[in-house]
């Protein structure tokens, strides 16, 4: 990887982690005297409070931290992706009834435990009417990247750990399929453009370099549609060393969070 790009990735990680730490310090400092604050709400639970201040603090803090930190990782991913891709917003085009019916059919087959394949949707074609105004559709997307050199569009659903139940996994795949067909319709006159769908996670809950055994997600996503942990960061960095660069910088920048955690503990204990 070029040194300039490596430095840019390191700066993004450092900036976003510091911003996160500062916002957390501000938030919890303000909540010290608030009766409805995250920590104080645990004090009002006599059963939790009986277990001691330290348990009460961490049980409240970790739950809040986990939710907020996932959003930080998403933001870092999108910011890093801008160094290699054109990061785009919502998709506007049209969606035909035949395509919606096919999506429902695909999901139904997956629920019957048919193994997912990319060809299930990329090989589907239907006649497009001359007037598509009544089928206009807009879809919000948080992770839409475009590689102009390869002429490839990437639609990604990112979850920090990817721990979804069957219902949620089904919903995420259906949303990606909707994005796929709307985008495909917008590119109907550009046959050289390709679209790829991915389900990504910011880390592998089973350990990096270990098999990802989230079968509820795999019921709806093919293996080639998965970007798990290390693979996700290598993808957004467009480099096989992407994960190592991101995580090594995080090791250093995590000191911001550790310092803030100590400050917050002193306020509550």
How would residue 36 be classed by pLDDT, with cut points 50, 70 and 90? very low
Report yes or no on 124 lying in a domain. yes
- Residues 43 and 156 both lie in one domain: no
Tell me which DSSP letter residue 96 carries: -
Same domain (yes/no): 69, 94: no
Q: Is the pLDDT of residue 125 over 60?
A: yes
In-domain check, residue 112 = yes
Question: Would the pLDDT of 58 be above 90?
Answer: no
- Positive or negative torsion for Cα 172, 177, 178, 183: positive
Query: What is the pLDDT, as a whole number, of residue 100?
Result: 96
Q: pLDDT by residue (tens digit) across 66-104?
A: 778 889 999 999 999 999 999 998 899 999 999 999 999
Q: Is the pLDDT of residue 111 over 90?
A: yes
CB 269 within 8 A of CB 57: yes
The DSSP code for 115 is P
For Cα atoms 170, 195, 247, give the angle at the middle one, nearest 5 degrees: 75
Q: What is the pLDDT of residue 35?
A: 40
Same domain, 136 and 211: yes
Is 98 inside any structural domain?
yes
- Do 75 and 107 sit in the same domain of this protein? no
Domain that holds residue 185: 86-237
Strand (E) positions, the chain? Answer: 86-88, 91-94, 136-139, 144-147, 152-159, 194-201, 226-228
Same domain (yes/no): 106, 221: yes
pLDDT of residue 119 exceeding 50, the answer is yes
Q: Do the domain assignments include residue 74?
A: yes
Q: What is the pLDDT of residues 140-159, one digit of tens each?
A: 888 999 999 999 999 999 98
At 55 the pLDDT is: 75
Question: What span, in angstroms and rounded, lies between the C-alpha atoms of 182 and 95?
Answer: 5
pLDDT of 110 above 90? yes
Clarify whether residues 105 and 229 are in a common domain: yes
Is the same domain home to 125 and 167?
Answer: yes
Give the number of domains in the chain. 2
Residue 100 lies in a domain: yes
Question: Are 79 and 127 contained in the same domain?
Answer: no
| Residue 7, in any domain of the structure | yes
**Tens digit of each residue's pLDDT (9 = 90 or more) over 21-31:** 998 888 777 65
Closest Cα partner for 121 from 177, 51, 56?
177
């Amino acid at each position: 990887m070029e040194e300039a790009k490596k430095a840019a990735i390191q700066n993004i990680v450092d900036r976003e982690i510091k911003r996160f730490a500062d916002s957390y310090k501000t938030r919890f400092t303000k909540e010290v005297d608030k009766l409805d604050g995250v920590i104080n709400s645990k004090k009002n639970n006599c059963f939790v409070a009986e277990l001691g201040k330290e348990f009460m603090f961490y049980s409240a803090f970790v739950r809040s931290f986990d939710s907020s930190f996932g959003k930080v990782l998403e933001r870092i991913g999108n910011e890093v992706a801008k160094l290699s891709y054109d990061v785009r917003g919502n998709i506007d085009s049209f969606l035909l009834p035949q395509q919606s019916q096919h999506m429902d059919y695909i999901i139904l087959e997956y629920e019957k435990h048919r193994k997912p394949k990319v060809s299930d949707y990329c090989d589907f074609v239907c006649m497009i009417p001359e007037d598509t105004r009544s089928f206009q559709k807009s879809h919000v997307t948080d992770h839409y990247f475009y590689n102009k050199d390869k002429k490839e569009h990437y639609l990604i659903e990112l979850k920090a750990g990817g721990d979804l139940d069957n219902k949620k996994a089904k919903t995420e795949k259906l949303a990606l399929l909707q994005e796929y067909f709307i985008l495909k319709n917008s590119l109907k006159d550009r046959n050289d453009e390709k679209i790829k769908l991915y389900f990504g996670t910011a880390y592998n809950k089973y350990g990096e370099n270990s098999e990802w055994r989230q079968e509820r997600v795999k019921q709806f996503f093919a293996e080639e549609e998965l970007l798990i942990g290390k693979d996700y960061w290598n993808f957004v960095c467009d480099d096989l060393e992407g994960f190592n660069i991101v995580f090594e910088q995080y090791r250093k920048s995590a000191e911001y969070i550790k310092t803030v955690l100590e400050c917050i503990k002193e306020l509550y204990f």
